């Protein structure tokens, strides 16, 4: 029901198709240097965090993947804007990216898994760069400090005068969250302009948010909870709702036209070197519904490859219901027949079969695992299992 309503809202928002008419972008001033005390302090903190990040084991060092992410970013915002930005891809299996005031961009690996195309990846990177170009980090820092000072003063003044200042304090707190939501909308609008002016279709941005909502719904349904039903931001929400974003961005994208190549194949190629890592990290989140949705989306564009079949087998085995183990064994077999060479496929197949009561077949698969990977960390445990 939720997505039936969403489909109607997006169809109404889109209106008739239009030829692509790139919007004018604001004049960009490169190599901006901090000039005030606040700016220098904020830049200094960001520089220190970047120094720590450079040596972090979480940083993905694969040169091909890093070059791919930079290419998509530069294609989205333009060469003049992308040159001074330092991009760090980090192994965090969640949907997010962020940008610091000093020009450091951090891209979480979960974004690479969830984006279906270069255009969708570029939509998020462009949104984060819009925060940077609009200097939202500094504005939010000043706003938070001013509100904190005001709340402290109002509390003291109210205590001295005996006047109830709760309503005024509450209004100030609300203004902080509303200010953040306004910043997000501004970054969405400028990010969409980047995308519309690029070779990518502007419509990729609202499409991305529909899939974010669908993943969230799948997670909740698998956990026996109702999908999120409200369609307006709450008092303490720092971002507009995903639905609000999808509808608003669909209207704006329709103005710019939706021509361009989203580059689905380019994205699949770009993330291939780290796809096994992305899938393994996602499965460790213990989110059956969301992960199954992501795997289904990946299969829609590339088919059920050996990597995706192996990941799906691991997902079902991790949940571990009796029927899941039978299903997992089937997926492991499909992955092996599709060309999966990872020894862990035999290991998973063997364990699933043994727990399903097919001990003989399970032992055969586990023996093959040890032949392929005799120095495996769990080799002694598997040998003991085979000896019983």
Q: What is the DSSP string of 66-104?
A: HHHHHHHHHHHH-HHHHTT-EEEEE---SS-EEE-TTSE
Enumerate domains of the chain plus CATH numbers. 2-256 (no CATH), 304-388 (1.25.40.10)
Phi, psi dihedral angles at 97 (to 5 degrees)? -155, 160
CA count, 13 A, side-chain hemisphere, 339: 5
**Token representation of residue 328:** 């997992």
pLDDT at 20: 58
3-class DSSP assignment, residue 36: coil
Digit-coded pLDDT (tens) for 130-181: 988 888 766 555 444 443 443 343 344 344 444 333 333 333 333 333 436 7
Q: Can you state the angle between helices 118-133 and 166-197, rounded to 10 degrees? A: 130
User: Residue 257 in contact with residue 20, Cβ under 8 Å?
Assistant: yes
Inter-CA distances, 220 with 15, 97, 191, 211, 290, Å = 32, 23, 29, 14, 8
Cα three-residue angle 323-328-333, rounded to 5 degrees: 135
Residue 15's pLDDT is 55
CA neighbor of 336 nearest in space, from 347, 346, 327, 351: 346
Which tokens belong to 258? 């939706």
In the chain the first and final C-alpha atoms are separated, in Å, by 52
- What pLDDT is stored for residue 247 in this prediction? 83
pTM of whole model > 0.85? no
Kindly state the DSSP code that residue 272 receives in the 8-state scheme.
G
Residue 321 structure tokens? 């219901």
Contact 273, 293 (CB under 8 A): no
Name 108's bridge partners: 90
* Residue 339 and residue 320 in contact, taking contact as beta carbons nearer than 8 Å: no
| pLDDT at position 138 | 60
Q: Identify the sign of the CA torsion 115, 121, 123, 126.
A: positive
- Structure letter (DSSP) for residue 105: E
- DSSP conformation class of 89: E
Block residue for tokens 């940083």? 59
The pLDDT value given to residue 146: 40
Per-residue pLDDT of the chain (388 residues; tens, 9 = 90+): 454 455 444 555 555 555 556 778 888 877 667 777 777 777 788 888 899 989 999 999 999 999 999 999 999 999 999 999 999 999 999 999 988 888 899 999 999 999 999 999 999 999 999 988 888 766 555 444 443 443 343 344 344 444 333 333 333 333 333 436 788 888 999 999 999 999 999 999 989 888 988 999 999 999 998 876 554 444 334 456 767 788 888 888 888 876 789 999 999 999 999 999 999 999 999 999 999 999 999 999 889 999 999 999 999 999 999 899 999 999 999 999 999 999 999 999 999 999 999 999 999 999 999 999 999 999 999 999 998 7
Which residues are bridge partners to 89 per DSSP?
A: 107
């Amino acid at each position: 029901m939720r997505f039936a309503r969403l489909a109607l809202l997006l169809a109404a928002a889109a209106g008739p198709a239009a030829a692509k008419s790139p919007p004018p972008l604001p004049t960009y001033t490169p190599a901006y240097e901090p000039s005030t005390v606040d700016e220098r302090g904020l830049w200094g903190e960001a520089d220190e965090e970047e120094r720590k990040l450079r040596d972090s084991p979480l940083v993905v060092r694969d040169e091909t993947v890093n070059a791919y992410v930079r290419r998509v970013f530069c294609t989205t915002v333009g060469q003049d804007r992308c040159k001074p930005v330092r991009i760090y891809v980090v192994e965090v299996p969640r949907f997010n990216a962020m940008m610091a005031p000093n020009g450091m961009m951090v891209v979480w690996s979960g974004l690479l898994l969830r984006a279906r195309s270069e255009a969708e990846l570029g939509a998020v990177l462009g949104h984060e760069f819009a925060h940077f170009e609009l200097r939202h980090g500094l504005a939010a820092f000043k706003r938070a400090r001013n509100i904190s000072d005001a709340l402290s003063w109002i509390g003291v003044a109210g205590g001295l005068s005996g006047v109830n200042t709760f309503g005024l304090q509450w209004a100030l707190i609300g203004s902080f969250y509303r200010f953040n939501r306004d910043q997000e909308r501004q970054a969405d609008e400028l990010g969409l302009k980047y995308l519309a002016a690029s070779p990518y279709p502007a419509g990729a941005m609202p499409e991305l948010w529909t899939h974010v909502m669908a993943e969230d719904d799948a997670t909740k349904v698998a956990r026996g909870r109702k999908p999120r039903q409200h369609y307006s931001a709450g008092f303490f929400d720092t971002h507009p709702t995903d639905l609000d974003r999808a509808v608003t961005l669909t209207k704006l994208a329709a103005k710019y036209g939706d021509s361009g190549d989203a580059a689905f194949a380019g994205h699949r190629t770009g993330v291939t070197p780290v796809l096994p890592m992305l899938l393994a990290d996602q499965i460790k989140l213990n989110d059956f519904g969301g992960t199954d949705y992501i795997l289904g989306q990946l299969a829609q564009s590339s088919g059920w490859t050996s990597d995706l079949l192996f990941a799906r087998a691991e997902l079902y085995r991790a949940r571990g219901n009796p029927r899941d183990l039978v299903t997992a064994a089937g997926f492991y077999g499909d992955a092996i027949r599709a060309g999966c060479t990872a020894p862990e496929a035999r290991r998973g197949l063997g364990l699933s079969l043994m727990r399903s009561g097919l001990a003989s077949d399970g032992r055969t698969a586990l023996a093959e695992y040890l032949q392929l990977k005799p120095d495996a960390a769990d080799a002694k445990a598997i040998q003991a299992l085979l000896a019983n």
